[in-house]
Amino acid sequence: MDQPVITPVVLCGGSGTRLWPLSRTYTPKQFLPLTSSYSMLQETVLRLPKTINQGIFICNEEHRFMLAEQLRKIDANNSTILLEPEGRNTAPAVALAALQAMKDNPHAMLLVLAADHVISDHGAFHQAIEHATAAALQDKLTTFGIVPDKPETGYGYIQHGNDGEQFHSVKQFVEKPALDVAKQYVASGDYLWNSGMFLFKASCFIDELEKYCPEILVACQQAFSGAEQDLDFIRPEKSAFLSCVSESIDYAVMEKTSNAAVVPLNAGWSDVGSYGALADVLDKSDEKSNVFVGDVLTHETSECYINSQHKLVATVGVENLVIVDTPDAVLVANKDKAQDVKAIVEQLKQQSRSEVSFQREVYRPWGKYDSIDMGERFQVKRITVKPGAKLSVQMHHHRAEHWIVVSGTAKVTIGETTSLLSENMSTYIPIGEVHALENPGKLPLEMIEVQSGSYLGEDDIVRFEDRYGRS
């Protein structure tokens, strides 16, 4: 029998608000290197069995270039990236992925994964995939249930039958329980945490979706049939997709189907839903159960998670704290209250503060910039442009700009004049002047940009031409 073709489907949405200020709207936790030198997204891909490759990744507009760049860095360039016009939960996202997979292979199986989970025991994970594959070959819609190691009120549970060796039938899905109920579930041995990971034939999922939520399938079929290719991305037709209801796989299909199965997974899994959970999956830095990231000094400090992104952080006589220092924000929280960081995020949103959305260092398809200083009528940025990349042809209504080349070569167009600038050379772009910047060299271009004017927001950009399709 031929080995079944399994296509990984990685869901890259989610805002990770409980990990602010590391995780932000435009750089959420799945794109951050929280547990290793790789991002959580990259770890998700790298832990897959070698026989599983060329995945389908589903993300939103804002994250598309960051996703493509992170995949390129781990040689996963052959993957397909689907862009959701707007989030509609997991059922429509997986429906799009199923339609894409079946276009290339009518018999494809989908391994549906979140981009922001930790799985430390790769061998156990691979074995669970084999067991789930066996179930999927019997046309089962298979989910992975995490073997619980404690009563947990933050997860949904799956009650299973004891009717199989590799996988079990599903008796019921249950919502997040109260603590006393969670204790009963764990003591019974009949309940697993709901991981939100699945393996099934794409055709079986489509059949069950048509049976139980046909309106989702119709909207996704219309969106997929009207999809357009944009550089490395596939854009489903917007209006059709936005007509789709927002629904999870569990509510749309898994809780209704009679073909559900569950594979127990005991592989060091965590959804890293808080700083406490993040500290639990990282190696301890000292004998006092602290976890340090960056430049940290301590005295009489215990049970803390301290992450310094910017400067030396020193503590004396504290315990059970989360301390996170970034270039533009500092978080101090009791580790037992770390889940409530989202309340700060809500305040930032209400006040329309930029710290909720952007890190100081912002990634763009052409490279990145770091806002190193800002005042009432000025801003200073360090700009890095990748070899061969070009910023849009643009102008600004409210600001002038000075550019100073630190290293590399800049091809600068101002109005009708184009010139090459090398190290220590500079130029000036007046307010209202059409201009463009390109790196024609083979090394990164490093520049300092000094902006001055009455308004310095990123929305003061009028684009006339852009190779990345931005408006």
Residue 291 CA neighbour count, 13 Å, CB half: 20
* Average pLDDT in the chain: 95
Nearest to 249 by CA among 260, 241, 237: 260
- pLDDT for position 53: 74
Report pLDDT for 408.
Answer: 97
* Residues 423, 404 contacting (CB under 8 angstroms): no
Over 50: is that where the pLDDT of 461 sits?
Answer: yes
Report the distance separating Cα 18 and Cα 346, nearest Å: 11
Torsion of CA 191, 11, 103, 128, to 10 degrees: -40
Token pair, residue 345, equals 């995020």
Region 115-136 average pLDDT: 97
| Structure confidence at residue 2 (pLDDT) | 59
In whole angstroms, what is the distance from residue 51 CA to residue 7 CA?
10
Return the DSSP state at 376: S
Per-residue pLDDT, averaged over 85-101, amounts to: 96
pLDDT of residue 265: 97
What is the predicted pLDDT for the residue at 62?
87
Do residues 435 and 466 make contact, with C-beta atoms less than 8 angstroms apart?
no
Q: Can you say whether the dihedral through the CA atoms of 348, 354, 356, 359 is positive or negative?
A: negative
Domains of the chain: 6-270 (3.90.550.10), 288-345 (no CATH), 361-465 (2.60.120.10)
Q: Using the structure block, give the residue that is written with the tokens 């430390």.
A: 120
pLDDT confidence of residue 395: 97
- How far is residue 378 CA from its own chain's centroid? 32
- Percent residues over pLDDT 70 in the chain: 99
- Strand, coil or helix: 450: strand
DSSP string, 118-156: EE--HHHHHHHHHHHHHHHTTT-EEEEEEPPSS--SSS-
Bridge partners for 24 per DSSP? 27
What mean pLDDT comes out for the span 79-103?
96
Rg, Å, the chain Cα set? 25
Phi-psi region of 453 (alpha: psi -120 to 50; beta: other; left: phi over 0): left
Scored b (16 or more CB within 10 A) or e, 188-204 reads: eebbbbbbbbbbbbbbb
SS3 track for 157-226:
EEEECCCCCCCEEEEEEECCCCHHHHHHHHHHCCEEEEEEEEEEEHHHHHHHHHHHCHHHHHHHHHHHHC
**Could you give the CA distance from residue 354 to residue 352 in angstroms, rounded to a whole number?**
7
Residue in 353, 355, 348, 386 with CA at minimum distance from that of residue 369 = 386
Confidence of residue 1 (pLDDT cuts 50, 70, 90): very low
Q: Per the structure block, which two tokens stand in for 68?
A: 């493509």
Per-residue pLDDT tens over the stretch 285-324: 999 999 999 999 999 999 999 999 889 999 999 999 999 9
Question: Would you give the DSSP letter of residue 290?
Answer: -
Per-residue model confidence as pLDDT tens digits over 399-451: 999 999 999 999 999 999 999 999 999 999 999 999 999 999 999 999 999 99
Query: 335-369 pLDDT, tens per residue?
Result: 999 999 999 999 999 999 989 998 888 888 899 99
Q: pLDDT tens for residues 220-251?
A: 999 999 999 987 899 999 999 999 999 999 99
Tens of pLDDT, residue by residue over 158-168, are 999 988 889 99
What tokens appear for 10 in the block? 């990685």
Q: Is the pLDDT of residue 460 over 60?
A: yes
Please give the pLDDT value at position 54. Answer: 83
